[in-house]
Amino acid sequence: RRKLWSKFEYYLGFILQFIYSCGETMMNPVETIMVKEKRVGPSSELLCNSESDFECGSDTESEMCSEDVSYESTTYINDPIHGMLEVHPLCKAVIDTLEFQRLRSLKQCGISHFVYPSAVHTRFEHSLGVSHLALQVIRKLKQNPNCEISETESLCVQLAGLCHDLGHGPFSHSWEQYVQEKTGEKYEHENMSIQLFDYLIRENKLNDSFQRYGIDEEHRKFIKDLILGKPAEYKTLKPKSYLFEIVANKQNGLDIDKYEYLMRDSYFFGIKIDPNFGRYLTGIRIIEDGDKNEHIGYRDKLESHIISIFKQRAEMHDKAYKHKVCLRIETMLLDALSLIEDDFKISIEENSEVKKYCLWEWHKNLKAFLQLTDQLFETILFSTEKSLSKAKEIVLRILNRKHYSQIYEGTLNNLTAGNEQLNEELKQIEKRLSEKYSAKFCCRLKKLELAQSSNDEECCDPLNNVWFINKESIVYKIDRQKLDPALWLPEQTRCTKLYVFCSKNLQEENRNEAVQTIEQEVRLISQNF
C-alpha cells in the first residue's frame, strides 16, 4: 500500500505540475518566446533580439541611449493587427529618433475618437504596420519569375513605408485644411515627410548607419520618391517602376498604406470589414503594359476582391471618417484654430537669430513643426492667454457635447466636391446666412469618391487603372462600362451630400426660414452646374 501511495503521489505531482505550466502558457502565450519586455517611450512594445534566442536585451537607460548601440540584429514588435512585426536594424535606428517618436502623439484618425471612443490609435503604429506590409509584398514579389529585387531596394521600400507619414500635422487632415484656409497655400504632408526624413538622418547622425547598409545619397533620393510615389531618373540606380506602386500608388490608390489603415482603423472603430491582406498577397504579380513599363497587377481571380476594397474604403468614409458628427466636430475645431490670434507664436533660433512663427507658419520651420502634435488641443483648453480665449470656448463646447446645430442635410447630384466654383458659391451662402442671423454658418460637403490616389481630381475612376492577368498570361484592365455600379458601389456613395451647420441654436421660425433659403440656393446651384 505504501508503494502504491508513493507512486500515486509521484504521478499526481507530475500531473499537477503539467497542468500548472499549461495554465501559465494559456494565460500569457507571448511569454513562451519573450523573456523580457523592453519599453520604448510612453507606450511599450515587446522587443526581442533574434541573435539571443528571442531574449530581449537590457532595459538600462545607458544602453538604450548610448550612441554605440548596435543595430546589427532584427527586432520584433508585437502588434494587434499583424502579430509579430519584423523590424530591420536600420528601421529600428529610425524608429528610435525624436522625429519618428513624435508620431505617438498624432492620432491616426484625427477627431474621430469623439464619436468612436476606441479610435485613439496613432500614426506611430500605423507606420510600423506599413513598413511590415512592405516587407511582405517584397517577399511575395520575389517569387515572380525573373524578379530581381536587391536587399538594398527591399530596405528602401521598408524605410519609405516607415517614414511616409512623418509630415502629418495634428488632427490628421484637418490641419492641412486649416493651413490652406488660413494661407491659401496647399499643405502636402508627403513633401513635409521627405524634408523630415533628411532632417532625421542629419540630426541623429545616422548617415554612417545608412551607409553601412548600402544606402547612399542616391538611395535616399529613391526612398523619398517612393514616399511621393513618383518614379524619377537616377545616375546609377535602375529601380523597377512597380516599386513606386507599393507604398504610394498614384495609378489607382491600391497600396499598402491604404490596406494598413483599413485593417487598423476598422479594428479600432469596431466596424466589421475584411480587407484580407492575405488574399491580396496570393494574387499580386508584376506585369508589363504595352509600353514595357512594369506595374503591380493581380491574378484575374482577384477581381471581386479588388472591387471589395474600394467598397470597404467607401464604407469606412461613410460610417467613420466622414460621419456627420465627425464633420460637425471638425468644423468646430477648424473654427477654434482660425480664432487663434496672431500673437500666439513660437520662437525658434535660426543662425543665431530668433524668429517667431504664427501657428499656421510652424510648418515652415522643421524645429517648430516637430512641436505640433494633438497636444495642441489641450494647450488651447488649459491656456490662460487672451490670444486663445475665443478658441478655448469652442474647444470646451466640443468636450461638453454642445456641438453646432445641423440646419440642413441634402443631396447635390452630379456635382464634384472639389469644384472651385461650387466651393465659392457655398462660401457666399455661408456669408449671407451668417450676416442675416448673426451666427456662424458653415457648409460642408461629403462625397465618397472611389478615387484613391492623392490626385483624386485627376483619377476619377481608379478601377480603370488596375491591371489583371489571367492563366494565359493575357494582361487586361476591367471594362468599367460593362459593370453595373449598383453591384459594387453603394447608392449613398454616388452623390455629394451637403451639410449646413450653425454655431448657435436658432429659434424654430428662423430655422425654418434658413432651411428654405438653403433649399432655394441648392436648386439654383444645381441649375447652374
**Contact assessment for residue 285 and residue 142, using Cβ atoms and an 8 Å cutoff:** no
* 246 DSSP assignment: T
Residues 6+ apart with CB under 8 A from 325: 114, 115, 403
Among 280, 275, 284, 276, residue whose Cα is nearest residue 312: 275
- Cα angle value 220/225/276 (rounded, 5°): 110
Angstrom CA distances, 232 to 167, 223, 393, 410, 511, stand at 21, 11, 49, 44, 55
Among 149, 130, 152, 126, residue whose Cα is nearest residue 223: 152
Residues 6+ apart with CB under 8 A from 461: 450, 451, 480
**Contact assessment for residue 398 and residue 329, using Cβ atoms and an 8 Å cutoff:** yes
Residue 83 φ/ψ region, left for φ over 0, alpha for ψ in the -120 to 50 degree band, beta for the rest = left
- Cα angle value 310/294/303 (rounded, 5°): 30
Question: CA–CA separation, 347 vs 354, rounded Å?
Answer: 6
Angstrom CA distances, 455 to 20, 379, 478, stand at 58, 34, 21
Annotated catalytic, 189?
yes
Amino acid at residue number 429: I
Set 121, 189, 295, 323: catalytic member: 189
For cell 469606412, name the residue. Answer: 316
Counted residue by residue, the chain has a size of 529
Q: Which residues are catalytic?
A: 189
